[in-house]
Amino acid sequence: MTNSFNARTTLKVGTRDYQYFSLKALDGAFKIARLPYSYKILLENLLRHEDGLNTTRADIEALAGADLKKLPAKDINFTPARVILQDFTGVPCVVDLAAMRDAITKLGGNAAKVNPLCPVELVIDHSVMIDHYGSKQALDLNAKVEFERNAERYTFLRWGQEALQNFKAVPPDTGIVHQVNIEYLARVVFEKDGLLYPDSCFGTDSHTTMVNGIGVLGWGVGGIEAEAAMLGQPSSMLMPEVIGVRVTGRLAEGATATDLVLTVTEMLRKRGVVEKFVEFFGPGLANLAASDRNTIANMGPEYGATCGIFPIDEETLNYLRLTGRSDEQIAIVKAYAQAQGMWWTPDAPEAEYTDVLHLDLGSIQPSLAGPKRPQDRVLLSDVKANFRKAFEAEQKARPSKGPAQVTDRGQTFTLKDGAVVIAAITSCTNTSNPSVLIGAGLLARKARALGLTTQPWVKTSLAPGSKVVTDYLAKAGLIDDLEYLGFHVVAYGCTTCIGNSGPLNEPIGKAIVDNTLSVSAVLSGNRNFEGRVHQDVRMNYLASPPLVVAYALAGSTDIDLTKEPIGRSKDGKDVFLKDIWPSNAEIQAAVAQAVTAELYKKSYADVLKGDARWQGIQVTKSETYGWDDNSTYVQNPPYFQGMTMTPPGIQPIKGARCLAVLGDSITTDHISPAGDIKKDGPAGQYLMAHGVQRADFNSFGSRRGNHEVMMRGTFANTRIRNAMTPGVEGGVSRYLGDGTDGAVEPIYDVAMKYATKQVPLVVLAGKEYGTGSSRDWAAKGTFLLGVKAVISESFERIHRANLVGMGVLPLNFVDGQNAASLGLDGTEVFDFEGLTEGASEVTVNARKADGTVVCFKARVRINTPMEWSYYQHGGVLQYMLRQMAAA
């Protein structure tokens, strides 16, 4: 590649010479040292990819000379070093690549051209569910069921591993993608053919940001954008604002990294950091272990940022050393970071930021978040009042008939509102952090010694993000104590955090439904959106692993654990949380003794090998995939049907009908659920019509390789509320194309009625539309239902990009307006005027049944010239396919 700054130079590390693109080549004209750490990574990326076409000298100069206080609306390209996938979102990526191989052949191209050009690593972690718990056999039993349910998908991934270059799959029951990323996959500094450059990654999971904790710039993207990156397409983005968080002090006694990240999430959500970078700096970094940084970085999507990054420093190297990276790699990381001005020390000059917030670690207090959003932090002392307030609100819509007498597993007990029916130590957010895992084990040991036991209605689980967790808990002698309280290892995967909590015991589930009880889940995850953890659990609280164990003992969120006893000891005395809470010194001593580099090296020695089940999958290597028309898991998607080499251009949207009028904070879980498939819904009916028994439905997430299932599941969340069907909860709408008021029907059925008459559809929504995960099916399903435009008050970053990537027009109401203020109720017919390339806004004419017209402006959220190209091609996949076929 051409580099007009002559930035390529030599760096000697040990006895070897490497090449790199030096930022110092820009020092004469620009003050590079003042730039945030994240901007230095973006700048190096531009320098390395300068070609005079996609990346120009002007792009480099704009970023190098940027005034962070007054950024221009300029787009730049970013090309990640690698792509990571998880199986729920990764399977559809590989499905799309297989479909593109078929399609490029029909266009006269070469199927072998559809191949990743950068390293792509998929970790299978999203499929395992907690069908079994509370026994030593649970781990093996859940894995067995997982393989039985997902044999088709896993066979397909094995085909991909054989057919595609630069593609690796980490087998099931190994760990969670983000934890495997920070503990094993992340390079921090990449080396390829003697050239050094910063490690960076896109991931098809929003919590890809976790790797920011060790200085790697990465974030979650939809599968569509990930596929573009795999195939060498740079990602276009506006120069981001960077919000600096100046960290001071140290965590107080009893405060955990979980308390810290929940506080950060609350603080940054209030500030507003959507589509912005967040960067942590300041003297307090010296008091934050890398594992604590990883926890903070993990929840970037919850506080809304594109990334939440920490610089490289001595603590980064300590973590790389602990997790078994080679001495050679660690030396490269240090030498490169120092040479590029990316090395942080406590006395380093502070960079310039768009804005600076302050975080005093000493102010962090024990907290939970809930009951429905991760940014709604609640002090531990306020949880009881918080639950009661939420419970009172629930009573207006669904009055409780509790309490209920229940007999389960030989015990009879009273199940009340507020009962904790799920207590899950889950998620890479916290299971990647030895301090909180060891803390949970020590709390369990103290509770066991006093004779405390878990309440009989609580479904308990321990699902670590890597096998090394089990190894160090065993070395610390804490496994037996956790198992005594029911926290047996059930899986090495995401489980409860993504809604794979599995069924509640039948008597308990029946009592909840029959008595409309408002029960709770307490989990060490990162999300607690309505309907996500379990469809029958209304109140969901995020908490540290030690607090998860504590609430399993208490059995209720209708309790103040700071004042009320958690239980009674074997000699009849009240036991309080403070009596069993381990000190910081106890935790640190146990971590130092049990958590070693040898355990990490042993755990990851054969990470790609898999168990006997994985090794037993037989596949035939072939250039194109042999689609099975009878498969209910993997089908050839329709995106390229009838496609020619000529792009369709911008198509007018006239005579559109509204499919849904939605409120604020509609998540991608609402739009495209990942969990249970209802028997009586369109997706369930499709599966039964294809011979699938109810017990074998699996989840929506596992069926993402089949568009027929997924489009039927779009907007099918049981908790979604469409204002077009007041008083009815769930994925329903009304067909208004026949002059009647329309009966309430599943959204899929309504959309298909409009499709038969070729009527385009729109969706109206409130603030933060598409918040949550990166799942591309929230956009793919929207497209397949026939939706041509989504008009919201605001979008979350990833979902907006995914809509563009699928050829769906994202629009925002102008400031201060929304559907309600304009008097829109979804019965209107919509015409869009002024939609031309580069348009900043369009005029929308909404014609009501009485002939009156509501005319309003909407802001076009196609942000860059490249996105306009995608939109005119009908989507990014079609754009790339035409480029490859033309080449």
Span 583-604, pLDDT tens digits: 999 999 999 999 999 999 999 9
Mean pLDDT of 651-677: 94
Question: Is the pLDDT at 680 greater than 90, yes or no?
Answer: yes
Give yes or no for residue 323 having a pLDDT over 90: yes
Name the average pLDDT for the chain: 95
pLDDT of residue 740: 85
535 vs 188: which has the higher pLDDT: 188
Q: What is the pLDDT of residues 458-505, one digit of tens each?
A: 999 999 999 999 999 999 999 999 999 999 999 999 999 998 999 999
What is d(CA 46, CA 76) in angstroms, rounded to the nearest whole number? Answer: 8
Rg (Cα) of the chain, in Å, rounded?
26
Residue 831 pairs in a beta bridge with 845
Q: Cα–Cα distances in Å, from 723 out to 161, 641, 662, 763?
A: 45, 34, 6, 11
The per-residue pLDDT for 113 is 84
Portion of the chain with pLDDT greater than 70, in percent: 100
Q: What percent of the chain has pLDDT over 90?
A: 88
Token look-up 């569509």 returns 224
Position 184 pLDDT exceeds 90: yes
Residue 825 neighbours by CB distance under 10 Å: 16
CA dihedral sign, ordered 378, 381, 382, 384? positive
Q: How far is CA 849 from the centre of its chain?
A: 41
Q: Is the pLDDT of residue 199 over 90?
A: yes
Among 382-391, 524-533, 678-687, which stretch is predicted with the lowest mean pLDDT?
524-533
Per-residue pLDDT, 342: 98
* pLDDT at residue number 1: 54
CA distances (Å), origin 251, targets 244, 595, 741: 20, 21, 59
The predicted structure's pLDDT at residue 87: 92
pLDDT category of residue 699 using cuts at 50, 70 and 90: confident
| Number of other residues whose CB lies within 10 A of the CB of residue 58 | 9
| DSSP annotation of 808 | P
Q: Which of 131-135, 204-208, 296-300, 673-677 has the lowest mean pLDDT?
A: 673-677
Q: What is the model's pLDDT at position 594?
A: 98
For residues 224 and 877, the answer to whether their CB atoms sit within 8 Å is yes
pLDDT at position 218 over 70: yes
Q: Is the dihedral of CA 428, 434, 438, 439 positive or negative?
A: negative
Average pLDDT (608-613) is: 92
Whether 3 shows a pLDDT value over 90: the answer reads no
| pLDDT band at residue 631 under the 50/70/90 scheme | very high
pLDDT given for residue 741 in this prediction: 85
d(CA 268, CA 382): 21
**For residue 236, what pLDDT band results from cuts at 50, 70 and 90?**
confident
Confidence grade of residue 2 (pLDDT, cut at 50, 70, 90): low
Q: In whole angstroms, what is the distance from residue 467 CA to residue 173 CA?
A: 9
Whether residue 773 has pLDDT greater than 80: no
Look at phi and psi of residue 70 and say left if phi exceeds 0, alpha if psi is from -120 to 50, else beta.
beta
CA distance linking residue 719 with residue 662, whole number of Å: 12
Residue 34 has pLDDT above 70, yes or no: yes
What is the model's pLDDT at position 538?
A: 93
**For the residues of 812-880, what is the DSSP string, one character each?**
EEPTT--TTTTT--S-SEEEEE---TT-SEEEEEEE-TTS-EEEEEEEE---SHHHHHHHHTTSHHHHH
What pTM was estimated for this model as a whole? 0.88
- pLDDT by residue (tens digit) across 800-818? 989 999 999 999 999 889 9
Question: What average pLDDT does range 568-597 have in this prediction?
Answer: 97
What's the rounded Cα separation, in Å, for the pair 293 and 826? Answer: 45
DSSP lists the bridge partners of residue 811 as 791, 860
Token pair of 603 as six digits: 């755990």
3-state helix, strand, coil in the chain (%, to 5): 40, 20, 45
Over residues 530-536, mean pLDDT: 88
Position 175 pLDDT exceeds 90: yes
Mean pLDDT of the 449-454 span: 98
